[in-house]
Amino acid sequence: MAAKTNAGFTVPGLSLANGHKVANALQMRIHAFNDLQLTLKHAHWNVVGRDFIGVHEMLDPQIDLVRAMIDALAERMATMGVAPNGLPGALVAARSWDDYDIGRASTTEHLAALDLVYTGVITSMRKTIEEIGKLDPITEDILIGQTGQLEQFQWFMRSHLENSAGELSNASARTEKGAAKKAK
């Protein structure tokens, strides 16, 4: 017997269709966060040079919080009657972004590239908030809180890339490699 991915229920106050629509939107956030936490861990292992220990140690709490965000969204999906999928094959099949493209590199190069990663994730979160906000204020609230944390993480990274005039060393870069090269 094949397992169903959607139950015949959702949270009280939402139609079954809207509950499942909200939950399905969360699946892409789970994919993005799973990718983000793996990317952050990769950078954590591959960062070198000046300010190594500060950046190395700054990334672990971010990874832990992103993992907690994944869990919160997966549990919200299950509450809404949709089975979350955290499998790597599903992530790769569903994502619209490329793998992180920086290997062993300086702290500045990784932070410049990660700044672009965060911009992409935060932009997608804001679009999801707009979509979800029309359907479910509870889920919207969860996403708003998570986006605030992501924006704070990005600020931590940007503080390493910003000069006293408020300009980012990776400004106008469109790719991770381009951001890393500009910031180098």
Predicted confidence (pLDDT) per residue in 99-110, tens digit: 999 999 999 999
Specify the pLDDT at position 56: 95
Average pLDDT (136-162) is 97
Specify the pLDDT at position 2: 54
| Residue 3 banded pLDDT, cuts 50, 70, 90 | low
Could you read off the pLDDT of 10-68 as tens digits, one per residue?
A: 999 999 999 999 999 999 999 999 999 999 999 999 999 989 999 999 999 999 999 99
Specify the pLDDT at position 5: 80
Question: Cα 56 vs. chain centroid, distance in angstroms?
Answer: 19
Give me the chain's average pLDDT, please.
95
Burial 40-58 (b: 16+ CB within 10 A, else e): bbbbbeebeeeeeeebbeb
Q: Which residues contact 126 (CB under 8 A, 6 or more apart)?
A: 147
| Whole-angstrom distance, CA of residue 22 vs CA of residue 134 | 10
The domain over range 16-183 is classified in CATH as 3.30.110.70: no
| Residue 184 banded pLDDT, cuts 50, 70, 90 | confident
Q: Which residue has the tokens 């986006």?
A: 147
For the chain, what are the domain ranges?
16-183
